[in-house]
A = this chain, B = another copy of it.
Amino acid sequence: MAEARSGRQVQLDSYPRGEVRLEDFRVVEVEVDEPGPGEVLVRNTWTSVDPALRLRFAPDAPPGYFPAFPLHAAMDGIVTVGEVVASRAEGFGVGDTVWHAAGWRDYAVVAAGVPALNGLATLRRLDTELAPPQAYLGPLGGMGLTAYMGLFEAAELGEGDVVWVSAAAGAVGSLAAQFARINGNRVIGSAGSAEKVAFLLDELGLDAAFDYRAGSVAELLEAAAPEGIDVYFDNVGGDHLEAALGALRPGGRVALCGAISDYETVEPSPGPSNLFQATANQLTLRGFRGSAYAGRIEEVQERVAGWLASGELLYRESVTEGLENAPRALVEMLAGRSIGKSLVQIA
């Protein structure tokens, strides 16, 4: 028998009300099981920090969304990359790099072929020649899928469309903005600091960008797009969506990707007061989740890997070292202090 193995896991200790605090989490050392038949044991190397995790930190997660994380237990449904250290599952061998959804812990026992909660990160071997392992938590993973499908499916991006992407320095936003730029569209990005605006203009090469904290979002958008916009990729909701509804030209489209502005509020915020614009200008607002397009992940990975390899696509990470610092990475991201995809390097 192998010596009993132990590893850390991050658990939710209490459900935050309002802002997430470090005290809402605890790190515990637990014994690690050996894999049973059809299972692998993975030593996790990289794990993901996503805005939408916030939605699961409440006993009453929004109906239709993923269920709340239980307290004092491993958090399932967080995409993670690791290396197989023991396998009793056909098709998986020691040394394989895989992704799965049992994140925020050192080791995970994962059953092959059991669909992950989000439909995407079911245990799968990754091609590390196409891109480094952690890219599968970003542009080659759910983030890339979400940005791609939001833009080309939900918003039906077409030739000549002027596109606004909010939270454009964020993980999904920076991909969506660049996909649109690579597609030949005029792209306006917004973000929450002058540093991020510089990143959008100088590094991502967007056509225009503004700091939404510098004034009224509607006025800033109008200055950046005086003739209006055709597509809005919404990562924010609230006043951003309201500004978009006022700026969208007839036939315009909104991809509703999520509303980070709401994730930390205790009471739901009112929606846009100018939804009538949708009727007046025949606008379409389409909510979507990248995971619904899980069946198309390989198509996206292939295209995105090509853009990464050619240098057309810039991909920036905010890496936090050490599993124990995952809660801090989340707090930083929700506070808007990170640029690009937030990742935790476990080992």
Closest residue of B by beta carbon distance from A274: B268
Interchain CB contact under 8 A, B276 and A262: yes
Contact partner of A277 among B63, B237, B279, CB < 8 A? B63
Task: Kindly state whether residue A18 has any CB partner on chain B within 8 Å.
Answer: no
Binary contact track A165-187/B, C-beta < 8 Å → 1, others 0: 00000000000000000000000
Task: Kindly state whether residue A115 has any CB partner on chain B within 8 Å.
Answer: no
Task: Kindly state whether residue A256 has any CB partner on chain B within 8 Å.
Answer: yes
Interchain CB contact under 8 A, A237 and B276: yes
- Looking at A269, A279, A281, A285, the one whose CB has the most chain B CB atoms below 10 A away is A279
Contact partner of A280 among B64, B273, B279, B281, CB < 8 A? B64
Contact partner of A287 among B237, B259, B278, CB < 8 A? B278
- Looking at A62, A256, A258, the one whose CB has the most chain B CB atoms below 10 A away is A256
Interchain CB contact under 8 A, A292 and B282: yes
| Bound complex: CA A275 to CA B258 (Å) | 9
Interchain CB contact under 8 A, B271 and A275: yes
| Bound complex: CA A65 to CA B276 (Å) | 10
On whether A64 and B250 interact (CB within 8 A), knowing A276-B237, A279-B258, the answer reads yes
Interchain CB contact under 8 A, B250 and A278: no
B-side contacts of A250, CB under 8 Å: 64
Interchain CB contact under 8 A, B279 and A268: no
Residues in A276-314 with C-beta less than 8 Å from chain B: 276-289, 292
Interchain CB contact under 8 A, A280 and B237: no
Task: Kindly state whether residue A272 has any CB partner on chain B within 8 Å.
Answer: yes
Task: Kindly state whether residue A270 has any CB partner on chain B within 8 Å.
Answer: yes
Contacts A64-B281, A258-B279, A278-B287 known; 10 new A-B pairs at CB < 8 A: A256-B278, A262-B276, A269-B273, A270-B270, A272-B275, A277-B287, A282-B292, A283-B287, A284-B284, A284-B287
A-B contact pairs, 10 of them (CB 8 A): A64-B250, A256-B278, A256-B279, A259-B275, A262-B276, A268-B276, A279-B287, A282-B289, A285-B285, A285-B286
